[in-house]
């Protein structure tokens, strides 16, 4: 990584490789946290209960509807509405299990989507880079090689939420 930066005459580098950081940095505390989503088409989606705002994010982590490892949530993203999900550290299943599909459809109903009249949603499974605490710091190991390295990874399911702030902090670290 640093040698490649030097080839291009770069004096700084930001490592945002997510799960790749496990191998790249030897970070054994980094694991995948499996998430699942149904992706409804925002235009054709049918509602039983129309949300007050078309850009509201809703998250429920409390029983009986959700939990820490199986939250019920809805996130509008451009032309889709993402309904989730799970947050299962170390789970490597690449497909949505039948019981999980049932729960996702129920989550969509709870959020007001009429799943019987809406087009069939797309399915998504992903692995979020989780570690006990996110890593956002300067790596002094490479400073003697003339390249300032900032690591920024391990945000788990919060990456979508914190990426702008993390990027600004990485720039501030590079500027210091």
First-to-last alpha carbon distance for the chain, in angstroms, is: 21
Binning the chain into helix, strand and coil, the percentages to the nearest 5 are 30, 35, 35
Instruction: Report how far residue 88's alpha carbon sits from residue 15's, in angstroms, rounded to the nearest whole number.
Output: 24
d(CA 169, CA 175): 10
pLDDT at 66: 95
Coil, strand, or helix at residue 154? strand
Q: What single DSSP character describes residue 68?
A: S
Q: Which pair of structure tokens corresponds to residue 143?
A: 């400073």
27-72 pLDDT, tens digit per residue, is: 999 999 999 999 999 999 999 987 777 788 899 999 999 999 999 9
Q: Given this model, what pLDDT does residue 76 score?
A: 93
Q: Distance between CA atoms of 54 and 94, rounded to whole angstroms?
A: 31
Entry pTM? 0.85
List pLDDT tens digits, range 88-122: 999 999 999 999 999 999 999 999 999 999 999 99
């Amino acid at each position: 990584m640093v040698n490649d930066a030097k080839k291009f005459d770069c004096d700084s580098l930001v490592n945002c490789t997510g799960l790749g950081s496990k191998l790249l940095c030897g970070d054994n505390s980094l694991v995948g946290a499996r998430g699942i989503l149904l992706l409804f088409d925002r235009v054709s989606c049918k509602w039983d209960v129309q949300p007050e705002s078309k850009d509201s994010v809703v998250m429920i982590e409390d029983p009986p509807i959700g939990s820490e490892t199986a939250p019920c949530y809805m996130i509008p993203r451009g032309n889709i509405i993402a309904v989730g999900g799970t947050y299962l550290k170390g789970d490597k299943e690449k497909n949505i299990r039948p019981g999980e599909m049932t729960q996702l459809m129920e989550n969509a109903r709870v959020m007001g989507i009429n799943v019987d009249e809406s087009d069939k949603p797309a399915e998504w499974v992903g692995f979020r880079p989780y570690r006990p605490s996110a890593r956002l710091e300067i790596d002094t190991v490479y400073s003697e090689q003339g390249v300032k390295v900032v690591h920024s990874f391990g945000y788990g399911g919060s990456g979508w939420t914190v990426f702008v702030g993390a990027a600004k902090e990485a720039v501030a670290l590079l500027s210091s």
